[in-house]
Chain A
Amino acid sequence: MELLLQAFSWLLTPESWTQQGGALQRLFEHLGVTIGVVALSAGIALPLGVMIGHTRRWTTAVALLAGAARAIPTLGLLTLLGLALGIGLGAPVLALLVLAAPPLLAGAYAGVQAVDPEAVDGARSVGMSEAEIIRSVELPLALPVIVGGIRSATLQVVATATLAAYTSDTGLGRYIFSGLKSRDYPELIAGSLLVIALALLLDGSFALLMKSRSRAPRSDRQTTTIPLERNPS
């Protein structure tokens, strides 16, 4: 309890935030690494997942691969990559990409695959191209599941981005590593609290986003019907 109070007093000290390499700078670094990694990973995993969901090919292989990738210990991978790439931000970013990919991939292909085949067949029978089907039918219907995947990937990455401090002076992980080894537990707890706060903030934003979308089911349905109306028959 006393440690927790000391951690709060650390958090309430302005110098903890403003000094060179202070909490404010590290908070933004941490957020930057998280957003960057999730965006980069989404850029690869989402199109791939959507294609797999749409074609319904290789789903078993990808499901197995994604499941296996989840079991890769990120710290072990980071050490391996670090030995190949040297110190710096490269190795942690790559390791985090591998961490973020499975939930993104799973969300994308599961979401698209779960779209009612009748809706897809209907769209096809009125003459929509495959690209149009993906864009106007499957994606809007799969969106909640895809966003769920992004949400889960973001949560994992923001928590694990503490490892960026393993090989570079980046992010909130520094407080945890140095606090642990020098027995500065208030600093360690303060660093952890900041990571938790950041995780809650990001997850809360996703919750709000999903809630605001599900509150407007009508507009969802419209996006799927509009193309049918302008279909040249």
Chain B
Amino acid sequence: MTPRTRRFSLVSLAAVAAVTLSACASTGDLDGGDSGDDAIVVGSQDYYSNEIIAEIYAQALEQGGYTVERDLRIGQREVYVEEIENGSIDLFPEYTGPLLQYWVPDTTARLEDDVFTALTEAAPDGLRVLEQSAATDQDAYVVTREFADRYDLATIDDLAKVTEPLTLGGNSEGEDRPNGPKGLAATYGVDVSFTPIEDGGGPLTVKALQDGDIQLAIIYTADPSIEKNDLVALEDTKGLFLASHVVPIASDAIDDGAEEIIDAVSAALTPEGLVALNTESVDDEAPAASIAERWLEDNPLS
């Protein structure tokens, strides 16, 4: 190894170490929930769309004169729900259906109002479920426009009209999920085979749909790629997927004034608005903070 390459690898080693250390530091913050007594701690999932909503909450509260601390991009539900339950986080944007399923795995609620009521009842002591927003972000079965037109498809039920064999593509864990092939067969009587594509409804899945390698995929309804690639989300008439509205989960640190602000955000956020926010993130690669700032300018809360 020449001196120059050695120096180069030392530099890259230092860079790796720095990244690792800063990653440690940000997880460390989680445990030390003693962040200024009256600051409201806002958290978010490690999902860009969720981070934008959390950022809107945070900036709206700041405009209302509250002190806010951000603990964004924490991780997946298994990790952060504990942090909410033990009081380290005061405010978190959630989704009604998936959170209900986390707290009550065998829930039978499917429609939006039933899910919301059940979720309110399931919330542990010390946590409140604030008003749900009209904005939804949920799993849906999508097909290409061309495929939908060929068989005249609008709902999942219509898949019975398809005469060719159907293949569903999605993350491998979907094969055994209640809304996977088994759910399709049990609820709708539609038989599909399964192909794993591990990018969570990302570009590879869209490509497979367009190539005809798969005919069906599960993609989030608020994903801009549905509109961009002219995909059709089939309507779930029999409630295979739980309704999944954006809903804030709050601790006692959220007083009446703060709750009013957050309720106003939820009321102003529409399904189309959420897709537009996601598009700004995906297409323009704008940071969550500036997307949130722009949204609050366009949607004055008072």
Contact = CB atoms under 8 A, between A and B. Distances in A.
Interface string A179-194: 0011100000000000
Given A87-B204, A183-B78, A165 B198 contact: yes
Nearest to A86: B211
Interface residues of B, number: 20
A194 to B, nearest CB: 16
A166 B198 contact: yes
B208 A177 contact: no
A105 B211 CA distance: 35
Nearest to A91: B204
A174 B47 CA distance: 23
B213 interface: yes
- Among A82, A88, A183, which residue has the most Cβ atoms of chain B within 10 A? A82
Interface of B: 78, 169, 171-173, 175-177, 195-199, 203-204, 207-208, 211, 213-214
Given A169-B196, A177-B198, A87 B207 contact: yes
Interface of A: 79, 82-83, 86-88, 165-169, 174, 177-178, 181-183
Given A87-B211, A177-B171, A178-B175, 10 more contacts: A82-B207, A87-B169, A87-B195, A165-B196, A167-B204, A168-B196, A169-B172, A177-B196, A181-B171, A183-B78
A83 B176 CA distance: 26
Contacts of A169: 172, 195-196
A51 to B, nearest CB: 25
Contact of B172 (A79, A82, A165, A183): A165
Given A82-B204, A165-B198, A87 B175 contact: no
A167 B198 contact: yes
Contacts of B204: 79, 82-83, 87, 167
A101 B198 CA distance: 26
Per CB-CB distance, the 3 closest pairs between chain A and chain B, nearest first, are A178-B172, A182-B173, A181-B173
B172 A88 contact: no
Nearest to A82: B204
A63 to B, nearest CB: 11
Contacts of A166: 197-199
B207 A181 contact: no
B262 to A, nearest CB: 30
Contacts of B172: 165, 169, 174, 177-178, 181
Contacts of A167: 197-198, 204
A158 B241 CA distance: 38
A83 B196 contact: no
A169 B173 CA distance: 12
A183 B214 CA distance: 26
- Among A165, A166, A167, A177, which residue has the most Cβ atoms of chain B within 10 A? A167
- Among B177, B196, B211, which residue has the most Cβ atoms of chain A within 10 A? B196
